Amino acid sequence: MNQSKRSLEFATKIGCIIDCSFCPQKLFISNYNKTSKTKDIEMSLDNFKKIINKVPENVEIRFAGMSEPFLHQRCTDMILYAHQSHHEIAVFTTIVGLSVEEIDRFKTIGFNDFVIHLPDNNSYSKIPINEKYLLVLEKIFQSNIKGLRLSSHGKIPKILNPLLDKYGYGSFKEYQGDEIHDRGGSLQIQDNAKSNSLINGPIACPASGGQEIKRNLVLPDGTVSFCCMDMEMNHILGNLLNDSYESLFLNDAFKSLRKLFNSNSSDFICRKCIYVQRYNLYFKFKRFFYTYCPSFIQQTLFKLKQIKGTKPKH
C-alpha cells in the first residue's frame, strides 16, 4: 500500500472460529465486551453503508482486522458497496466462509490486494482443508482476481501442491512462511515467534504513515481503534456511527496518541511492535522514496523481495 494514502480496516464481526495461534482472540473479545456500549457481534450492512458514506473516497477500505471477513454473510455486499462508492479495496482472508458463488460477484473488482492466507503444516493457522475449501481456492485461482497474493505462516500442506502447480504458484511450495510475532506484546507464542525490545526516543510506523496514524480499524459497533494491533483497545479514536471521519484526527485522543510516538512511555504498544522504526532522517528518506518513487520501480523491488523469500532455506 502507498504510505501516503489512508486506509480503514473493517472487522466485520467479533469472534473468529478459526482461532489462529498468533491471534489473541480471547483477549480482544474480553476487552471489546468491556468497552463496547452496544456489544454488537456483527456490523449490520446498514451501519456499514452509513460509515462508508462518511469516509472520503481517497481512503482505501480493507476487509481484515480482528476476524475472518467472510464469516460475515454480507461481506460480499459490503465489498461491492465500498467499491461502488469509489473506494480502493483490499481483502485479507483465509477464504473460510466464502462460497464459490460469491466469488463471481466480486471477481472483476480491481483489488489493491486480495491476499489469501493459506494453511501451514504447523497449524498456526487453523484452517480446515476440506472439499469446499479446495473448490473455493481453485475458483479464486481460475478467476484471475487482480491483486491476488498468497501468504502463510509456515510450509504449505502437500495436499495443496496440485492446485499451486496447476495455476502457476508452484514456487510457493518452498515458502517458509511469514514471521509470527507477539502483536506488540499482546501474545505469548513459542517456537519461531518474534518480539521486539522497547525502542526509546521518537518512533514511527511505516505501515501507518510514520506518525500520522493513517491505517485504522473499525469494529462492529462503529468504534475506531488506531491500529489492529491494539488488542487491549487502549487507544480509541472515536465512533464512526456518531463522529465524522475527519474528527477522528482532530480530537484529544488523537493528539494524546501522537504525543506517545515522541515520548519514552514503556506502556505504549507501538514501542513493542516488530514493525516500529526510529523516527529519524533514514526513515523520512524511505517514506519519501515509497511516496514519490515511480510504482514500477517499487513493484520490481517487491518482486525481488518475494523471489528471495520463496527460496528454500538450507
DSSP string, 83-120: HHTT--EEEEE--TT--HHHHHHHTTS--SEEEEE---
Rounded CA-CA distance 28/311 in Å is 35
Q: Which of 20, 123, 30, 112 is nearest to 63 (CA)?
A: 112
Per-residue pLDDT of the chain (314 residues; tens, 9 = 90+): 444 589 999 999 998 888 787 787 888 888 899 989 999 999 999 999 999 999 999 999 999 978 999 999 999 999 999 999 999 999 999 999 999 999 999 999 999 999 999 999 888 888 999 999 999 999 999 999 999 999 998 889 999 999 999 999 988 887 776 777 666 666 665 555 566 666 777 888 887 777 788 999 999 999 999 988 888 888 999 999 999 999 999 999 999 988 888 887 667 888 888 788 877 665 666 666 656 666 666 566 656 655 544 444 43
> What's the predicted TM-score (pTM) here?
0.83
Q: Give me the pLDDT at residue 295, please.
A: 65
Angstrom distances, CA of residue 136 to CA of 18, 129, 139, 145, 257: 17, 11, 5, 13, 41
Residue type, 86: H
Rounded CA-CA distance 234/232 in Å is 6
Angle (nearest 5°) at CA 64 between 40 and 222: 30
Q: Give me the pLDDT at residue 314, please.
A: 37
Q: Look at the chain and count its residues.
A: 314
Residue with cell 485504522: 216
Cβ proximity of 125 and 153 under 8 Å: yes
- Other C-beta atoms within 10 Å of 141: how many? 18
Q: Which of 118, 71, 178 is nearest to 63 (CA)?
A: 71
Cβ proximity of 9 and 62 under 8 Å: yes
Cβ proximity of 147 and 111 under 8 Å: yes
Beta bridge partners of 90: 62, 113
For the chain, state the CA radius of gyration: 19
Cβ proximity of 175 and 309 under 8 Å: yes
Q: Give me the pLDDT at residue 282, please.
A: 55
> Which residues make Cβ contacts (< 8 Å) with residue 124, sequence separation at least 6?
20, 21, 22, 153, 154, 177, 180
Q: Give me the pLDDT at residue 47, please.
A: 98
Cβ proximity of 152 and 144 under 8 Å: no
Q: Give me the pLDDT at residue 175, please.
A: 77
- Sheet with 7-10, strands from edge to edge, namely 148-151, 113-117, 89-93, 60-63, 7-10, 215-218, 223-225, 236-239
